[in-house]
């Protein structure tokens, strides 16, 4: 089967002809719909080498009292001087370790939310407004908030795991062999643009597709099947983009 560019072909050309159907998509609409911001692995600089950091004991010094600390779990303040740590300490850990949860796709989101609330009770800006190091604390709070959002989002969590477990990131020039799926995505976007589009029905349909692909990728991560993970994750990204557009109408 002829390969089709996963992302870039959808906006590098003014028209697209997929599967010999006369389904054309303009450059501007394709660019706005399919182009996404860099995922959190890049934009928040989470552990430049997260793969090698996994499960290793971390060694660092308290920035205040120089106490030597060796740990494989996150500490939020120094046991000796009780000072809150700055962001450099947290960058020693991958984002699963930040919330003390197992490194896997199928996480317990209720446990994640509980851990996040506990951490926010320590680092929330409002609780540290009088602290002389409030700027550093705010930086940590923002970093942890972004890490939490990455784990909470199924697509972002999968992208992070792909980088962490396989040292692989999906690029704009990635290829995808499923012509039928890409044709479907273009058709649904055209359908959404119609004045008489049944947004409620389409939303239900694509929420179900999202759930189905989420269950599928969970199985592939469990089986450590890289090719299947990659294939389903590409589709999940597109389905997620469809839902975002439907929800913003």
| Residue ranges in the chain whose pLDDT is less than 50 | 1-49, 51-52
* Helix, strand, or coil (residue 69): strand
Where along the chain do the CATH 1.10.287.110 domains lie? 49-166
Tens digits of per-residue pLDDT, 69-94? Answer: 888 778 788 889 888 888 888 998 99
Strand partners, 143: none
Tens digits of per-residue pLDDT, 91-134? Answer: 989 999 999 999 999 999 999 999 999 988 887 766 665 555 77
Task: Look at residues 198, 120, 169, 189 and name the one whose alpha carbon lies nearest to residue 6.
Answer: 169
Residue 67: CB atoms within 10 A of its CB come to 14
Evaluate whether 243 touches 210 at the Cβ level (below 8 Å): yes
Evaluate whether 166 touches 175 at the Cβ level (below 8 Å): no
Cα gap 159→235, rounded to integer Å: 12
- Fold exhibited by the domain 49-166: Helix Hairpins (1.10.287)
pLDDT of residue 13: 29
Phi, psi for residue 176 in degrees, rounded to 5? -135, 130
CA torsion angle 195 201 205 208 (round to 10): 130
Cα gap 56→79, rounded to integer Å: 21
Q: Which residue has the tokens 């300490």?
A: 89
| Positive/negative CA dihedral, 205, 210, 211, 216 | positive
Evaluate whether 214 touches 158 at the Cβ level (below 8 Å): no
pLDDT of residue 186: 93
């Amino acid at each position: 089967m002829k390969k089709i560019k996963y992302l870039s072909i959808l906006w590098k050309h003014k028209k697209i002809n997929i599967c010999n159907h006369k389904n054309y998509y303009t450059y501007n609409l394709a660019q706005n719909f399919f182009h996404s911001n860099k995922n959190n692995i890049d934009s928040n600089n989470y552990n430049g080498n997260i793969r090698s950091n996994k499960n290793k004991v971390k060694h660092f010094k308290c920035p205040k009292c120089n106490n030597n600390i060796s740990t494989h779990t996150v500490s939020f303040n120094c046991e000796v001087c009780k000072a809150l740590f700055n962001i450099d300490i947290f960058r020693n850990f991958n984002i699963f370790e930040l919330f003390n949860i197992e490194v896997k796709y199928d996480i317990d989101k209720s446990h994640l939310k509980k851990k996040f609330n506990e951490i926010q009770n320590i680092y929330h800006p409002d609780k540290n407004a009088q602290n002389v190091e409030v700027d550093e604390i705010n930086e940590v709070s923002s970093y942890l908030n972004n890490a939490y959002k990455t784990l909470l989002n199924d697509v972002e969590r999968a992208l992070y795991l792909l980088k962490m477990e396989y040292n692989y990131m999906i690029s704009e020039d990635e290829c995808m062999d499923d012509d039928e799926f890409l044709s479907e995505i273009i058709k649904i976007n055209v359908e959404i643009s119609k004045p008489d589009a049944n947004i409620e029905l389409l939303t239900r349909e694509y929420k179900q597709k999202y759930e189905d692909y989420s269950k599928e990728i969970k199985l592939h991560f469990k089986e450590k099947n890289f090719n299947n993970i990659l294939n389903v994750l590409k589709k999940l990204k597109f389905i997620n983009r469809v839902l975002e557009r439907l929800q913003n109408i």
